[in-house]
């Protein structure tokens, strides 16, 4: 029998090569390539193509097996991000920076699902059971119906779970699990992939939901191979700034609900508290409108969220002006500055530009273009925008303003929080804009001329 050749995998980026080298060709990291033993193929009679009775017509499957009911935890923000609750047999991966509160969130979630009637097992590979119990008592969850286990051997964990048949399993974290049939250290690419595959297979086979905690790299991406994110049903990121008490749980992938949905929490001494109205929270510290301050009406998943954009434009003594951005894309800021100079004749040469999204919020949608341009112009001209005004819209390279989705929901959220005026692109479906003075514009030049009196 021909010997199957081994492969070499980079533990930093997951790149696979046929031979070992000291430096990874994909990411440039040194001494990160390790040999992986090939997986043995099963007997031909067990292959999927030769299995009998497994291919069922879709119509028969729909009639025989109705969709499994979701289980709501009672934590509305967590249920919202999951798509309405926890689906039986689903695999969920939760990532976040160290110390951001992942273990606290999942311990509170496990206790909530336990109180909702599920049989819950919390497996910790990083802490002892006594340490987890101590944190639970600090959070007021000492009497929650959750069973604890401190183990890293995947074989022992799966054997115990097969006997106990829980409804929900929380694994903290996937990087600490190790399979004794894989010849590599815990946390390596091979171990993370094998552990994630075994836990996902257990979830599908037993109908139990599995929530796995994943570490992130310095770039903010989940550590390990990207194939783990493809295996699971839902990928959640728990993010926030250390200097702020706000925490945002964001759905990046969800097979059972909308992606890009967010849940907002506030870190308190007693754990994570839900924030029912994030817009009011993000705008709570906003004082008297000042130059460079603009309120942006955004959409996160299906939820409209209002937040404050702050800009500062100042002369620079350096030959190369600084462009500093927090909470937004730096490349998109450079594009907005170029459009303002090329289409509106407003230069920013010799000026430092600083842009910040207040409250630790991170914005990714292009609908923030017009609000960013308004904040930059307001800071440059030292002129504050009219109070109680929200701004949103996408800017094209030609200087035209493009309509954005869910205009009606953005305006409804602004009206609910007491705003009386809105500036938006022409062509958006505003719906019932009663109570708001809506100004729709077609291009950036008209916006600059009408709002700032120049252009």
Say if 44 falls within a structural domain. Answer: no
CA–CA distance, 372 with 366 (Å, rounded to integer): 10
Q: Say whether 240 counts as a known binding-site residue.
A: no
Would you say 278 is a known binding-site residue? Answer: no
Q: Tell me the CATH number at 148.
A: 3.40.50.300
- Angle between helices 444-452 and 369-381 in degrees, nearest 10: 40
150 in a structural domain: yes
Query: What is the spatial distance between Cα 80 and Cα 254, in angstroms, rounded to a whole number?
Result: 11
Verify that 335 and 363 share a domain, yes or no: yes
CATH of residue 355 = 3.30.230.10
User: Is 279 annotated as contributing to ligand binding?
Assistant: no
What's CA 134's distance to the chain center, in Å? 29
429 annotated as a binding-site residue? no
Residues 264, 365, single domain; the answer is no
How many domains is the chain partitioned into structurally?
3
Look at residue 171 and tell me if it is in a domain.
Answer: yes
Please tell me the predicted confidence (pLDDT) of residue 454.
57
Task: Using alpha carbons, list the distances in angstroms from residue 244 to 240, 287, 305, 307, 361.
Answer: 7, 18, 17, 14, 10
On whether both 287 and 271 belong to a single domain, the answer is no
- Scan for tokens 């289409």, then name that residue: 343
Residue 48 lies in a domain: no
Domain ranges, residue 314: 281-452
Whether residues 255 and 298 fall in one domain: no
Domain boundary among 224, 248, 276: 276
Question: 398: alpha, beta or left, given left = phi > 0 and alpha = psi -120 to 50?
Answer: alpha
Final residue belonging to a domain, choices 241, 276, 311: 276
If asked whether residues 123 and 148 sit together in one domain, one would say yes
DSSP H or E stretch at residue 366:
none
97 is in an annotated binding site: yes
Same domain, 317 and 191: no
In the chain (455 residues long), the average pLDDT of successive 10-residue segments reads: 64 80 86 67 41 57 64 93 94 92 94 95 93 93 93 93 93 92 85 93 94 86 84 93 82 91 90 89 76 93 90 92 93 96 93 91 92 96 90 95 92 91 88 82 92 69
Q: Are residues 132 and 271 in the same domain?
A: yes
Tell me: is residue 69 an annotated ligand-binding position: no
| Residue at a domain's end among 276, 305, 322 | 276
DSSP string, 149-161: EE--BHHHHHHHH
399 is in an annotated binding site: no
Task: Report if residue 196 sits inside a domain.
Answer: yes
Is 214 flagged in the annotation as binding? Answer: no
Task: Examine the domain organization and report whether 222 and 369 are in the same domain.
Answer: no
Does residue 51 lie in a domain region?
no
Is residue 145 in a domain? yes
């Amino acid at each position: 029998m021909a010997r199957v050749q081994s492969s070499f995998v980079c533990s930093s980026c997951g790149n696979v090569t046929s031979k070992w080298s000291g430096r990874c060709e994909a990411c440039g990291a040194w001494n990160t390539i390790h040999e992986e033993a090939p997986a043995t193929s099963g007997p031909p009679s067990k292959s999927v193509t030769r299995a009998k009775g497994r291919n069922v017509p879709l119509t028969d499957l729909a009639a025989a097996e109705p969709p499994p009911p979701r289980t709501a935890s009672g934590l509305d923000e967590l249920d919202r991000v999951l798509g309405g609750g926890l689906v039986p047999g689903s695999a969920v991966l939760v990532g976040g920076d160290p110390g951001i509160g992942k273990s606290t969130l999942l311990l509170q979630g496990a206790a909530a699902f336990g109180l909702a009637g599920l049989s819950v097992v919390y497996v910790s590979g990083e802490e002892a059971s006594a340490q987890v119990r101590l944190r639970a008592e600090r959070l007021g969850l000492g009497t929650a119906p959750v069973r604890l286990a401190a183990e890293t051997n995947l074989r022992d964990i799966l054997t115990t779970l097969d006997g106990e048949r829980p409804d929900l399993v929380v694994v903290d974290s996937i990087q600490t699990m190790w399979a004794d049939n894989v010849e590599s250290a815990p946390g390596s690419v091979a171990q993370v992939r094998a552990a994630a595959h075994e836990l996902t297979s257990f979830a599908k086979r037993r109908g139990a939901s599995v929530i796995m905690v994943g570490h992130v790299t310095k770039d903010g991406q989940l550590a390990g191979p990207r194939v783990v994110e493809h295996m699971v049903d839902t990928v959640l990121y728990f993010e926030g700034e250390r200097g702020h008490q706000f925490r945002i749980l964001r759905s990046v992938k969800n097979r059972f609900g909308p992606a890009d949905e967010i849940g907002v929490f506030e870190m308190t001494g007693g754990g994570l508290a839900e924030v029912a109205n994030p817009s009011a929270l993000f705008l709570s510290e906003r004082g008297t409108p000042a130059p460079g301050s603009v309120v942006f009406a955004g959409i996160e998943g299906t939820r409209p969220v209002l937040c404050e954009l702050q800009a500062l434009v100042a002369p620079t003594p350096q030959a190369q002006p600084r462009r500093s951005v927090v909470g937004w894309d730096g490349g998109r800021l450079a594009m907005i500055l170029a459009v303002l100079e090329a289409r509106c004749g407003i230069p920013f040469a010799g000026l430092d530009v600083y842009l910040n999204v207040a409250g630790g919020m991170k914005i990714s949608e292009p609908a923030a273009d017009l609000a960013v341009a308004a904040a930059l112009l307001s800071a440059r001209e030292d002129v504050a925008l009219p109070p109680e005004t929200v701004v949103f819209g996408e800017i094209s390279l030609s200087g035209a303003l493009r309509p954005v989705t869910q205009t009606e929901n953005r305006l409804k959220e602004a009206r609910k929080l007491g705003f009386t005026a809105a500036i938006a692109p022409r062509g958006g479906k505003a719906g019932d804009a009663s109570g708001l003075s809506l100004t729709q514009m077609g291009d950036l030049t008209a916006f600059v001329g009408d709002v700032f009196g120049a252009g």
